Amino acid sequence: MARKKSLDGPVLHEQILEEASRLFSERGHGATSIRDIADAVDISSSTM
C-alpha cells in the first residue's frame, strides 16, 4: 500500500478545513464522509 504524504500540523489542519468546506459546499454535509475529506487532502482516514 502506498504511503500517504506527511504534512506539518498547521498546514495539514488548514488543508483539511479548506477541502472539507469545498466538499460540504459541493455535496452537502450528509453526502460527505471523513474518507472523502482525507482522500482530498491525500492522507489516510485514520489520520483524520
Are the C-beta atoms of residues 43 and 13 closer than 8 Å to each other? no
In tens, the pLDDT along 6-18 reads 667 888 999 999 9
Q: How far is the CA of 12 from the CAs of 9, 31, 44, in angstroms?
A: 5, 22, 12
pLDDT tens, residue by residue, 14-48: 999 999 999 999 999 999 999 999 999 999 999 88
CA distance 40 to 15: 9
Q: What cell numbers appear for 45 in the block?
A: 482516514
Half-sphere CA count of 32, side-chain side, radius 13 A: 16
